[in-house]
Structure 1
Amino acid sequence: MHSTEKKIESMGLTLPAVAAPLAAYVPAIQSERYVHTSGQLPLIDGKLPLTGKVGAEISPEQAKDLARTCALNTPAAVKSVAGDLDRIKRAVKVVGFVASAPNFTGQPGVINGASELLGEVLDDKGIHARSALGVTVLPLDAPVAVELQVELMD
Protein backbone atom coordinates (compact mmCIF):
# COMPACT_ATOMS: atom_id res chain seq x y z
CA MET A 1 0.00 0.00 0.00
CA HIS A 2 1.21 3.48 -0.83
CA SER A 3 1.73 6.33 1.64
CA THR A 4 -1.40 8.37 0.76
CA GLU A 5 -3.60 5.33 1.25
CA LYS A 6 -1.78 4.51 4.49
CA LYS A 7 -2.46 8.06 5.66
CA ILE A 8 -6.17 7.60 4.92
CA GLU A 9 -6.19 4.35 6.92
CA SER A 10 -4.27 5.96 9.80
CA MET A 11 -7.13 8.48 10.02
CA GLY A 12 -9.53 5.59 10.62
CA LEU A 13 -10.98 5.90 7.12
CA THR A 14 -11.19 3.51 4.20
CA LEU A 15 -10.67 4.57 0.61
CA PRO A 16 -13.94 3.49 -0.99
CA ALA A 17 -14.36 1.83 -4.34
CA VAL A 18 -14.97 4.38 -7.06
CA ALA A 19 -18.68 5.20 -7.28
CA ALA A 20 -20.43 3.94 -10.38
CA PRO A 21 -21.66 6.74 -12.67
CA LEU A 22 -25.35 7.60 -12.44
CA ALA A 23 -25.58 8.56 -16.15
CA ALA A 24 -23.48 8.92 -19.30
CA TYR A 25 -20.11 10.04 -17.90
CA VAL A 26 -16.99 8.65 -16.24
CA PRO A 27 -15.96 9.19 -12.58
CA ALA A 28 -12.70 10.88 -13.61
CA ILE A 29 -10.65 11.69 -16.65
CA GLN A 30 -6.96 12.44 -17.07
CA SER A 31 -5.82 15.18 -19.42
CA GLU A 32 -2.04 15.40 -19.59
CA ARG A 33 -0.90 15.92 -15.95
CA TYR A 34 -4.35 16.75 -14.58
CA VAL A 35 -7.17 14.57 -13.32
CA HIS A 36 -10.67 16.03 -13.18
CA THR A 37 -13.29 14.16 -11.20
CA SER A 38 -16.98 14.23 -11.86
CA GLY A 39 -19.15 15.44 -9.01
CA GLN A 40 -18.86 12.94 -6.18
CA LEU A 41 -21.91 12.47 -3.98
CA PRO A 42 -21.62 11.44 -0.31
CA LEU A 43 -22.30 7.82 -1.18
CA ILE A 44 -21.42 5.16 1.38
CA ASP A 45 -21.57 1.64 -0.03
CA GLY A 46 -23.56 3.01 -2.96
CA LYS A 47 -26.22 4.73 -0.83
CA LEU A 48 -26.87 8.25 0.38
CA PRO A 49 -27.02 8.39 4.19
CA LEU A 50 -29.18 11.56 4.10
CA THR A 51 -31.17 13.47 1.49
CA GLY A 52 -32.68 16.93 1.38
CA LYS A 53 -31.77 20.59 1.47
CA VAL A 54 -29.18 22.12 3.76
CA GLY A 55 -30.83 24.65 6.02
CA ALA A 56 -34.11 22.71 5.93
CA GLU A 57 -33.97 18.91 6.40
CA ILE A 58 -30.17 18.81 6.76
CA SER A 59 -28.18 20.84 9.30
CA PRO A 60 -24.99 22.64 8.27
CA GLU A 61 -23.02 20.31 10.58
CA GLN A 62 -24.52 17.20 8.95
CA ALA A 63 -23.79 18.66 5.52
CA LYS A 64 -20.17 19.38 6.47
CA ASP A 65 -19.76 15.71 7.43
CA LEU A 66 -21.34 14.69 4.10
CA ALA A 67 -18.90 16.99 2.26
CA ARG A 68 -16.08 15.06 4.00
CA THR A 69 -17.55 11.86 2.59
CA CYS A 70 -17.70 13.41 -0.88
CA ALA A 71 -14.04 14.41 -0.54
CA LEU A 72 -13.09 10.87 0.46
CA ASN A 73 -14.81 9.64 -2.70
CA THR A 74 -12.74 11.99 -4.90
CA PRO A 75 -9.37 10.20 -4.37
CA ALA A 76 -11.07 6.93 -5.31
CA ALA A 77 -12.07 8.53 -8.62
CA VAL A 78 -8.55 9.95 -9.08
CA LYS A 79 -6.99 6.56 -8.38
CA SER A 80 -9.26 4.92 -10.98
CA VAL A 81 -7.39 6.80 -13.73
CA ALA A 82 -4.03 7.72 -12.16
CA GLY A 83 -3.43 4.27 -10.66
CA ASP A 84 -1.62 5.57 -7.56
CA LEU A 85 -2.58 8.41 -5.22
CA ASP A 86 1.09 9.05 -4.50
CA ARG A 87 1.31 10.52 -8.01
CA ILE A 88 -0.68 13.55 -6.80
CA LYS A 89 1.57 16.59 -6.94
CA ARG A 90 -1.13 18.89 -5.57
CA ALA A 91 -4.83 19.50 -5.35
CA VAL A 92 -5.61 22.36 -7.71
CA LYS A 93 -9.33 23.12 -7.43
CA VAL A 94 -12.33 21.96 -5.44
CA VAL A 95 -15.84 22.81 -6.55
CA GLY A 96 -18.53 22.13 -3.97
CA PHE A 97 -22.25 22.17 -4.58
CA VAL A 98 -24.70 22.51 -1.70
CA ALA A 99 -28.41 21.81 -2.23
CA SER A 100 -29.63 24.77 -0.23
CA ALA A 101 -32.86 25.96 1.32
CA PRO A 102 -33.73 29.40 -0.12
CA ASN A 103 -32.40 31.33 2.89
CA PHE A 104 -29.27 29.22 3.51
CA THR A 105 -26.01 31.10 2.84
CA GLY A 106 -23.43 28.95 4.67
CA GLN A 107 -22.11 27.03 1.64
CA PRO A 108 -18.43 27.83 2.39
CA GLY A 109 -18.71 26.31 5.88
CA VAL A 110 -20.28 23.16 4.47
CA ILE A 111 -17.59 22.69 1.81
CA ASN A 112 -14.92 23.23 4.48
CA GLY A 113 -15.62 19.58 5.31
CA ALA A 114 -14.17 18.59 1.94
CA SER A 115 -11.29 21.07 2.05
CA GLU A 116 -10.28 20.06 5.56
CA LEU A 117 -10.27 16.34 4.68
CA LEU A 118 -8.11 16.94 1.61
CA GLY A 119 -5.71 18.96 3.75
CA GLU A 120 -5.51 16.15 6.30
CA VAL A 121 -4.91 13.49 3.64
CA LEU A 122 -2.57 15.41 1.35
CA ASP A 123 -0.90 17.80 3.83
CA ASP A 124 0.55 20.82 1.95
CA LYS A 125 -0.33 19.18 -1.38
CA GLY A 126 -3.99 19.52 -0.35
CA ILE A 127 -4.04 23.35 -0.41
CA HIS A 128 -6.34 24.34 -3.26
CA ALA A 129 -8.48 27.00 -4.91
CA ARG A 130 -12.20 26.49 -4.32
CA SER A 131 -15.75 27.45 -5.19
CA ALA A 132 -18.69 26.70 -2.88
CA LEU A 133 -22.01 27.06 -4.67
CA GLY A 134 -25.61 26.86 -3.53
CA VAL A 135 -27.91 25.01 -5.91
CA THR A 136 -31.60 24.13 -5.93
CA VAL A 137 -31.24 20.36 -6.18
CA LEU A 138 -28.58 17.70 -6.76
CA PRO A 139 -28.87 14.17 -8.20
CA LEU A 140 -30.76 11.72 -5.98
CA ASP A 141 -31.66 14.69 -3.72
CA ALA A 142 -28.13 14.60 -2.30
CA PRO A 143 -27.33 17.51 0.02
CA VAL A 144 -23.79 18.04 -1.33
CA ALA A 145 -21.49 17.10 -4.20
CA VAL A 146 -17.77 17.77 -4.65
CA GLU A 147 -15.51 17.86 -7.71
CA LEU A 148 -11.72 17.75 -7.48
CA GLN A 149 -8.97 18.63 -9.91
CA VAL A 150 -5.44 17.43 -9.14
CA GLU A 151 -2.08 17.78 -10.85
CA LEU A 152 -0.02 14.63 -11.11
CA MET A 153 3.76 14.23 -10.98
CA ASP A 154 5.34 13.11 -14.21
Structure 2
Amino acid sequence: MSKIEERLAALGLVLPAPIKPPPGVVLPFRVVRVIGSRAYISGHSPQNTDGSIAAPLGKLGRDLTVAQGYTAARLTALSILGSLQRTLGDLDRITNWVRVFGMVNSGPGFNQQPSVINGFSDLILELWGSEAGAHSRSAVGMAELPFDIPVEIEGEVEIRS
Protein backbone atom coordinates (compact mmCIF):
# COMPACT_ATOMS: atom_id res chain seq x y z
CA MET A 1 0.00 0.00 0.00
CA SER A 2 1.35 3.43 -0.95
CA LYS A 3 1.93 6.20 1.60
CA ILE A 4 -0.98 8.21 0.22
CA GLU A 5 -3.29 5.16 0.32
CA GLU A 6 -2.22 4.59 3.95
CA ARG A 7 -3.08 8.22 4.79
CA LEU A 8 -6.47 7.89 3.09
CA ALA A 9 -7.20 4.68 5.00
CA ALA A 10 -6.15 6.30 8.29
CA LEU A 11 -8.64 9.10 7.60
CA GLY A 12 -11.35 6.52 6.81
CA LEU A 13 -11.63 7.77 3.22
CA VAL A 14 -12.46 5.60 0.21
CA LEU A 15 -11.76 6.44 -3.43
CA PRO A 16 -14.87 6.18 -5.60
CA ALA A 17 -15.37 3.94 -8.62
CA PRO A 18 -15.08 5.55 -12.07
CA ILE A 19 -17.66 8.24 -12.78
CA LYS A 20 -21.08 7.03 -13.85
CA PRO A 21 -22.53 9.86 -15.95
CA PRO A 22 -26.29 10.29 -16.14
CA PRO A 23 -28.09 8.05 -18.67
CA GLY A 24 -27.47 9.07 -22.26
CA VAL A 25 -24.41 11.20 -21.44
CA VAL A 26 -21.18 10.29 -23.25
CA LEU A 27 -17.83 11.56 -21.99
CA PRO A 28 -15.61 11.51 -25.12
CA PHE A 29 -12.38 12.50 -23.37
CA ARG A 30 -9.84 11.17 -20.90
CA VAL A 31 -10.42 12.12 -17.30
CA VAL A 32 -6.64 12.13 -16.81
CA ARG A 33 -4.17 12.72 -19.65
CA VAL A 34 -0.50 12.00 -19.00
CA ILE A 35 2.08 13.81 -21.12
CA GLY A 36 5.68 13.49 -20.02
CA SER A 37 6.01 14.35 -16.34
CA ARG A 38 2.55 15.95 -16.11
CA ALA A 39 -0.92 14.58 -15.56
CA TYR A 40 -3.72 16.89 -16.68
CA ILE A 41 -6.97 16.31 -14.82
CA SER A 42 -10.31 17.00 -16.48
CA GLY A 43 -13.12 18.57 -14.50
CA HIS A 44 -14.47 16.23 -11.82
CA SER A 45 -17.58 16.38 -9.65
CA PRO A 46 -18.40 15.08 -6.19
CA GLN A 47 -19.02 11.32 -6.37
CA ASN A 48 -20.45 8.58 -4.21
CA THR A 49 -18.24 5.51 -3.74
CA ASP A 50 -20.18 3.68 -6.49
CA GLY A 51 -19.19 6.38 -9.03
CA SER A 52 -22.56 8.12 -9.19
CA ILE A 53 -22.82 11.89 -8.77
CA ALA A 54 -23.14 12.76 -5.08
CA ALA A 55 -26.01 14.79 -3.65
CA PRO A 56 -26.90 17.40 -2.70
CA LEU A 57 -27.09 19.21 -6.01
CA GLY A 58 -27.72 22.89 -6.59
CA LYS A 59 -26.30 26.35 -6.17
CA LEU A 60 -24.22 27.59 -3.29
CA GLY A 61 -25.91 30.44 -1.47
CA ARG A 62 -29.35 29.38 -2.68
CA ASP A 63 -29.66 25.60 -2.20
CA LEU A 64 -26.49 24.71 -0.31
CA THR A 65 -24.46 26.14 2.55
CA VAL A 66 -20.73 26.82 2.50
CA ALA A 67 -20.25 23.74 4.71
CA GLN A 68 -22.10 21.56 2.17
CA GLY A 69 -19.99 23.06 -0.62
CA TYR A 70 -16.81 22.36 1.34
CA THR A 71 -17.88 18.71 1.67
CA ALA A 72 -18.67 18.57 -2.07
CA ALA A 73 -15.19 19.90 -2.86
CA ARG A 74 -13.64 17.29 -0.56
CA LEU A 75 -15.63 14.55 -2.35
CA THR A 76 -14.40 16.00 -5.65
CA ALA A 77 -10.82 15.61 -4.40
CA LEU A 78 -11.53 11.93 -3.75
CA SER A 79 -13.03 11.62 -7.24
CA ILE A 80 -9.86 13.11 -8.75
CA LEU A 81 -7.63 10.88 -6.62
CA GLY A 82 -9.57 7.82 -7.79
CA SER A 83 -9.03 8.81 -11.42
CA LEU A 84 -5.35 9.52 -10.81
CA GLN A 85 -4.87 6.17 -9.07
CA ARG A 86 -6.53 4.28 -11.93
CA THR A 87 -4.40 6.13 -14.51
CA LEU A 88 -1.06 6.21 -12.66
CA GLY A 89 -1.36 2.94 -10.74
CA ASP A 90 0.14 4.55 -7.62
CA LEU A 91 -0.69 7.92 -6.05
CA ASP A 92 2.88 8.08 -4.71
CA ARG A 93 3.94 8.85 -8.30
CA ILE A 94 2.57 12.37 -7.75
CA THR A 95 5.56 14.50 -6.78
CA ASN A 96 3.84 17.89 -6.78
CA TRP A 97 0.39 19.40 -7.13
CA VAL A 98 0.82 22.18 -9.67
CA ARG A 99 -2.50 23.94 -10.23
CA VAL A 100 -6.16 23.61 -9.37
CA PHE A 101 -9.14 25.36 -10.98
CA GLY A 102 -12.25 25.22 -8.81
CA MET A 103 -15.66 26.15 -10.17
CA VAL A 104 -18.59 26.71 -7.84
CA ASN A 105 -22.23 26.64 -8.96
CA SER A 106 -23.14 29.99 -7.41
CA GLY A 107 -26.47 31.65 -6.70
CA PRO A 108 -26.81 35.42 -7.11
CA GLY A 109 -24.65 37.32 -4.65
CA PHE A 110 -22.69 34.26 -3.46
CA ASN A 111 -19.03 35.22 -3.10
CA GLN A 112 -17.48 32.58 -0.82
CA GLN A 113 -16.07 30.36 -3.57
CA PRO A 114 -12.61 30.19 -1.92
CA SER A 115 -14.13 28.79 1.30
CA VAL A 116 -15.90 26.09 -0.74
CA ILE A 117 -12.83 25.04 -2.74
CA ASN A 118 -10.83 24.88 0.51
CA GLY A 119 -12.51 21.49 0.96
CA PHE A 120 -10.35 20.25 -1.93
CA SER A 121 -7.16 22.11 -1.00
CA ASP A 122 -7.27 21.14 2.68
CA LEU A 123 -7.43 17.43 1.83
CA ILE A 124 -4.60 17.62 -0.73
CA LEU A 125 -2.41 19.48 1.78
CA GLU A 126 -3.27 16.95 4.49
CA LEU A 127 -2.28 14.04 2.23
CA TRP A 128 0.81 15.46 0.47
CA GLY A 129 2.03 18.03 2.97
CA SER A 130 2.76 21.74 2.67
CA GLU A 131 5.43 21.40 -0.03
CA ALA A 132 4.29 18.71 -2.50
CA GLY A 133 0.64 19.55 -1.80
CA ALA A 134 1.09 23.28 -2.40
CA HIS A 135 -0.70 24.34 -5.56
CA SER A 136 -1.70 27.47 -7.38
CA ARG A 137 -5.47 27.82 -7.42
CA SER A 138 -8.45 29.69 -8.74
CA ALA A 139 -11.89 29.48 -7.15
CA VAL A 140 -14.58 31.07 -9.28
CA GLY A 141 -18.35 31.25 -9.39
CA MET A 142 -20.29 29.89 -12.34
CA ALA A 143 -23.89 30.56 -13.33
CA GLU A 144 -24.42 26.86 -14.10
CA LEU A 145 -22.48 23.60 -13.87
CA PRO A 146 -23.30 20.30 -15.60
CA PHE A 147 -26.13 18.27 -14.05
CA ASP A 148 -26.53 20.97 -11.35
CA ILE A 149 -23.42 19.75 -9.51
CA PRO A 150 -22.30 22.22 -6.83
CA VAL A 151 -18.57 22.02 -7.61
CA GLU A 152 -16.34 21.08 -10.53
CA ILE A 153 -12.56 20.95 -10.17
CA GLU A 154 -9.76 20.36 -12.67
CA GLY A 155 -6.01 20.47 -12.22
CA GLU A 156 -2.49 19.42 -13.03
CA VAL A 157 0.10 17.39 -11.15
CA GLU A 158 3.76 16.62 -11.69
CA ILE A 159 4.56 12.90 -11.70
CA ARG A 160 7.58 10.64 -11.66
CA SER A 161 7.94 7.84 -14.19
TM-score by length of 1: 0.94
Partner of 2:19: 19
- Once the two structures are TM-superposed, the CA of residue 70 in structure 1 deviates from its matched residue by 0.3
Distance in 1 between residues matched to 2:32 and 2:106, nearest whole Å: 26
- Once the two structures are TM-superposed, the CA of residue 75 in structure 1 deviates from its matched residue by 1.2
Judge conservation of contact 2:41–2:156 (CA < 8 Å) in 1. Answer: yes
Partner of 2:61: 55
Distance in 2 between residues matched to 1:31 and 1:66, nearest whole Å: 29
Distance in 1 between residues matched to 2:53 and 2:138, nearest whole Å: 25
SS of 2:61's equivalent?
A: coil
- Once the two structures are TM-superposed, the CA of residue 28 in structure 1 deviates from its matched residue by 0.7
Judge conservation of contact 2:19–2:53 (CA < 8 Å) in 1. Answer: no
Distance in 1 between residues matched to 2:84 and 2:155, nearest whole Å: 9
Structure 1 segments of 4+ aligned residues over 3 angstroms from their partners = none
2:149 maps to 1:149: no
Q: Choose from 119, 129, 136 the match for 1:129.
A: 136
| Pairing of 1:94-109 with structure 2 (within 5 A) | 94-109=100-115
Provide structure 1 residue ranges, at least 5 long, that are not aligned to the other structure: none
- Once the two structures are TM-superposed, the CA of residue 20 in structure 1 deviates from its matched residue by 4.4
Q: Percent identity?
A: 36
TM-score by length of 2: 0.90
Q: Choose from 39, 47, 70 the match for 2:43.
A: 39
Provide structure 2 residue ranges, at least 5 long, that are not aligned to the other structure: none
Judge conservation of contact 1:64–1:109 (CA < 8 Å) in 2. Answer: yes
Judge conservation of contact 1:74–1:148 (CA < 8 Å) in 2. Answer: no
